[in-house]
Amino acid sequence: MKCPFCGFEESKVIDSRPTDEGERIRRRRECLKCQKRFTTYEIIESLPIIVVKKDRSREVFDRDKLLNGLLRASEKRPVTLDMLEHIVDEIEATLHNSLDREVSSVHIGELAMEKLREVDEVAYVRFASVYRQFKDIQTFMEELKSLLNEK
């Protein structure tokens, strides 16, 4: 850390404590050359996840959009809002932990279907029918058959 007084690039941390509900860390530092003290703040850098849609357009990942899709698919099903928020949290964590800053909407949809399938099969089929845009009853039946075969 560069000293604001003399420009020397080495300092030592004297005190460190969290601020703003743990979102930032306040550090008191001392320059190793001029011995003057100064304060720095450290924050976690959060880079947005960019979603590449099927038409190649790009938009910032919106967890509410994903949650709303899952809510529609699980309407009138024994799936709680907490369960759906947990699914969205897991998907968002997976996306943040990957090294890619751009992710396809197809990948997000597949992750959502995978998680929803574990929670409720009817909600999964509803989500899949919209997401995969089944062209006819035959492709819909094939998906149902694969679901039954796994049991």
pLDDT tens profile 31-87 = 999 999 999 988 877 788 999 998 999 999 999 999 999 999 999 999 999 999 999
Contact 34, 8 (CB under 8 A): yes
Q: What is the pLDDT of residue 135?
A: 64
| Secondary element (H or E) of residue 69 | helix 63-73
Contact 68, 51 (CB under 8 A): no
Q: What is the pLDDT of residue 45?
A: 72
Q: What is the mean pLDDT of residues 5-18?
A: 94
Q: How many helices (H) and strands (E) does the chain have?
A: 5, 6
Q: What is the pLDDT of residue 90?
A: 93
Q: Tell me the pTM.
A: 0.65
Q: What is the mean pLDDT of residues 18-33?
A: 87
